[in-house]
C-alpha cells in the first residue's frame, strides 16, 4: 500500500463527485459529469508522467497491446483432448455471465423504470461471445462497472455503447502509448464515483419492513460485491433466496 495511490484516487474521486453534484444542481452543466472522467484520466496521467510518480509506488496501467486481436478461427479445434474441459468451463462461464448480466440489467431497469427482455439479453450476449471467440476475446457479459459509469454519465440509449466501442477501437489503434502512465487509482475512482447513485437506502428500509430475511440477503449480497466481487455477491444472493 502506497499513500500516493490513495491521494490520487481520493482527490479525483472528490472531483468526480463534485462534478456530478454540479451537473444535478444546474441543468446547464449536464455535460460536466459526462466529461469529468475523461478529464480525470488525462490530468492524472499527465501528473504521473511529469512527476515520475510511478517510481514512488503509484500503480500504473503500463503497456497496453496496440491494435485489435487478429483472427484466431484457424486455432479452433472441436476434436482435441481439451474439448470436454473447455465445454465444462464454457458452461460455468456462461451461467455466471448470464446471471451477472441479468442481475445488473434488472437493477438498472428498476432504477430507470423500463422493462428488460431477458431473451434479447441472452441472444445478444450469445452472438457477441460467438463473434468474440473468433478473435480470442474475453468472455463478454453485462459489466457492472461500465454500466454504472454509463449510468452516471446520464446515457439514455444503446447508442452510448456504439460510441464507447468506437472510442475503445480508436484508443487501441492510436493512443495505447499515452495510456502507459495512467494510474490504476483513477480507474477505481471513476467506478466508485458512479456507486452512490445506485444505493437505494429507502428500498433497503422497505425490504426490512416487509421481510427481514430478504433484507439480510440484500445486505449479504451488498457486502459480497463491495468486499470481494460481483460473482460472490450474486452467489450470496442466490444462495439466500434458495433458502426461502
For 100-123, what is the mean pLDDT?
81
List beta partners, residue 60. Answer: 183
pLDDT at 1: 62
pTM comes to 0.67
Contacts of 132 (CB under 8 A, 6+ apart): 138, 139, 140
Contacts of 109 (CB under 8 A, 6+ apart): 115, 116
Neighbours of 32 (CB within 10 A): 17
Give the confidence band of 196 by pLDDT, cuts at 50, 70, 90: confident
Give the confidence band of 11 by pLDDT, cuts at 50, 70, 90: very high
pLDDT at 149: 74
Q: Rounded distance, CA 229 to CA 101, Å?
A: 14
pLDDT at 244: 63
pLDDT value at 84 more than 80: yes
The most confident of the ranges 2-16, 78-92, 102-116, 196-210 is: 2-16
> Cβ(5)–Cβ(185) under 8 Å?
yes
pLDDT value at 10 more than 90: yes
For 10-14, what is the mean pLDDT?
93
> Cβ(193)–Cβ(40) under 8 Å?
no
> Tell me: the pLDDT tens digits for 51-71?
988 888 899 998 888 888 888
pLDDT value at 189 more than 70: yes
pLDDT at 9: 92
Amino acid at each position: 500500500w502506497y499513500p500516493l495511490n490513495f491521494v490520487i484516487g481520493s482527490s479525483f474521486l472528490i472531483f468526480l463527485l463534485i462534478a456530478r453534484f454540479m451537473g444535478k444542481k444546474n441543468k446547464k452543466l449536464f455535460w460536466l459529469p459526462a466529461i469529468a472522467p475523461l478529464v480525470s484520466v488525462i490530468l492524472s496521467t499527465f501528473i504521473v508522467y511529469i512527476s515520475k510518480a510511478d517510481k514512488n509506488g503509484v500503480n500504473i496501467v503500463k503497456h497496453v497491446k496496440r491494435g485489435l486481436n487478429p483472427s484466431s478461427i484457424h486455432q479452433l479445434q472441436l476434436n482435441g483432448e481439451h474439448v470436454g474441459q473447455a465445454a465444462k468451463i464454457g458452461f460455468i462461464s456462461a451461467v455466471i455471465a448470464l446471471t451477472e448480466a441479468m442481475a445488473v440489467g434488472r437493477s438498472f431497469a428498476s432504477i430507470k423504470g423500463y422493462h428488460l427482455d431477458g431473451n434479447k439479453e441472452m441472444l445478444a450476449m450469445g452472438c457477441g461471445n460467438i463473434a468474440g471467440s473468433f478473435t480470442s476475446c474475453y468472455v463478454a457479459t453485462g459489466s457492472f462497472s461500465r454500466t454504472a459509469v454509463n449510468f452516471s454519465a446520464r446515457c439514455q440509449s444503446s447508442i452510448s455503447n456504439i460510441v464507447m466501442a468506437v472510442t475503445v477501437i480508436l484508443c487501441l489503434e492510436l493512443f495505447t502509448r499515452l495510456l502507459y502512465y495512467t494510474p490504476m487509482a483513477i480507474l477505481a475512482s471513476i467506478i466508485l464515483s458512479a456507486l452512490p447513485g445506485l444505493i437505494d437506502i429507502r428500498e433497503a428500509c422497505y425490504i426490512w419492513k416487509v421481510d427481514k430475511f430478504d433484507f439480510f440477503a440484500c445486505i449479504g449480497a451488498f457486502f459480497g460485491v463491495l468486499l470481494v466481487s460481483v460473482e460472490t455477491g450474486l452467489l450470496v444472493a442466490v444462495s439466500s433466496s434458495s433458502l426461502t
